Copies of this chain bind each other. A is one copy, B any other.
């Protein structure tokens, strides 16, 4: 609404091709325009013809085909280490307004990752790292409760339209392979999965029946489809399980509980851990990014920052360095439920133990008492942990702990996390972040209502709320609103003050300061007493 899709054309000297970097352009009534980072893909491009069955055009296909392995690897990490700036890096640099060499160097040291499976050429390159815009992920996926393939594809498109930077398909129900295939072929953003879910389906939902072979085959199946990053709970070790026994909420990660059950049933160390290097080799072949899962994350305020959580984090640190040795990109998943005063410690420890691998957290929720509002209890924690250096925030919807998110919940979750991520960008002092706030506030102050709506994260809702009380068209240009009415509009009064001064041929400041001279002198004469004798 009120915006159009435009592309910035950026020449790529290496490939000789021209990169088309998408942006959402908001036209303003004062003749100017404001461009925003855009995740919505071709779906918001009027010139693009969309065929869900054919899928999106494989924009990255040529880059991938032209690629020569370095040291046997074709991962962004391998190229970055070798000093090569890939088209993906150049695309990202333009998208974030940064230098391509900076993008390369951040990827080379593992402080940022570019989730981009060779088999998902339809995706638009994006980066996850503390020195870039904070990203958000939206979870979708059907469950025991039925929901169709079309519905899930539609949810993915819907989530990216509102700003989801990546989408995780957590399907556990029927037609899981087909659902994922349709999502991948139509997704302009990286797709993440948790392979253990499908593996469990293959063994009739009995964790004890899981095996490395079943898991490995599932990973390869998903890798071939183009999954860009995979959550792997390889840090849930047999010896850590007892640490959760006295917790208030035990193990709340699905993957974590599945692996804990397997370890106990077989009394063996997790096959994800014992076969970790084989797993690295598979992910390396496709350039899939590890999202090392926090299977022992706290599920309540009471369990935050406990021994089980940090024991696993130390193991994730070891696994991070092994993956990097294999030129495989890594990010680390984080909690969960954490009170505000314990949030910073999570980031500090993660960066120390995991060599600054991008941190990817679920919230965290800062209190347990508000089921139905956990998008908010968690946005409070998400904004803060983002400010502390977390690179990507996994959204939480109002249905968390209660049910499955519908279309409206997905939108609410995405918008809530976009504003939390932006609040973090502002606090981190990201160069381009405040321009957006300034553009909207300027429109607000100048009563450019339509511009204010169009610049909002959710234009429809902003306008709908305004029209509820003042639907009339003139109200769109009125120099007041329903909140204070004409007589009480502070912004209007401020403007009257300025106008008064201008009409007298003086800038407001001069106008007032001139008159101030005597006044302040007078004030000084009174020995700057705090109050004056009654004058009038």
Q: Are A490 and B251 in contact (CB under 8 A)?
A: yes
| Segment among A7-15, A77-85, A93-101, A257-265 that sits at the interface with chain B | A257-265
A246 → B minimal CB distance (Å): 7
A250 at the interface (CB under 8 A from B): yes
CB-defined contacts of A468 to chain B, threshold 8 Å: 399, 403, 406
A376 at the interface (CB under 8 A from B): yes
CB-defined contacts of A29 to chain B, threshold 8 Å: none
A253 CA to B458 CA in the complex, in Å?
Answer: 25
A492 CA to B377 CA in the complex, in Å?
Answer: 25
Q: Which of A422-438 contact B (CB under 8 A)?
A: 422-424, 426-429, 434, 436-438
Smallest Cβ-Cβ distance to A237: which chain B residue: B523
Copies of this chain, complex-wide, total 2
CB-defined contacts of A164 to chain B, threshold 8 Å: none
Q: Are B519 and A369 in contact (CB under 8 A)?
A: no
A257 CA to B490 CA in the complex, in Å?
Answer: 5
CB-defined contacts of A466 to chain B, threshold 8 Å: 402-403
| Segment among A38-46, A220-228, A274-282 that sits at the interface with chain B | A274-282
Interchain CB contact (< 8 A) of A427 among B341, B426, B442, B500: B341
| Segment among A153-161, A175-183, A526-534 that sits at the interface with chain B | A526-534
Smallest Cβ-Cβ distance to A412: which chain B residue: B373
Interface size class of A (residues with CB under 8 A): 35 or more
CB-defined contacts of A172 to chain B, threshold 8 Å: 484-485, 487-488
Main secondary structure of the interface of A (DSSP, over half): helix
Q: Are A373 and B415 in contact (CB under 8 A)?
A: yes
Q: Which of A342-363 contact B (CB under 8 A)?
A: none
A195 → B minimal CB distance (Å): 14
A242 at the interface (CB under 8 A from B): yes
Q: Are B485 and A452 in contact (CB under 8 A)?
A: no
Q: Which of A44-79 contact B (CB under 8 A)?
A: none
A491 CA to B241 CA in the complex, in Å?
Answer: 13
A340 at the interface (CB under 8 A from B): yes
Given A301-B438, A380-B383, A403-B470, 11 further pairs, Cβ under 8 A: A143-B483, A248-B438, A250-B490, A268-B535, A300-B437, A300-B438, A368-B438, A370-B456, A372-B461, A373-B416, A401-B444
CB-based closest 7 A-B pairs: A144-B485, A250-B494, A257-B490, A300-B441, A205-B487, A340-B427, A372-B461
Give me the interface of A with B, judged by CB distance under 8 Å: 143-145, 172-173, 197, 200, 205, 207, 211-212, 238-239, 241-242, 244-246, 248-254, 256-258, 260-261, 264, 267-269, 271, 273-278, 299-302, 318-319, 322, 337, 339-341, 366-373, 375-377, 379-380, 383-384, 387, 398-399, 401-404, 406, 415-416, 418-420, 422-424, 426-429, 434, 436-438, 440-442, 444-445, 452-453, 455-458, 461-462, 464-466, 468-470, 481-488, 490-491, 493-498, 500-501, 507-509, 512-513, 515-516, 519-520, 523, 530-532, 534-536
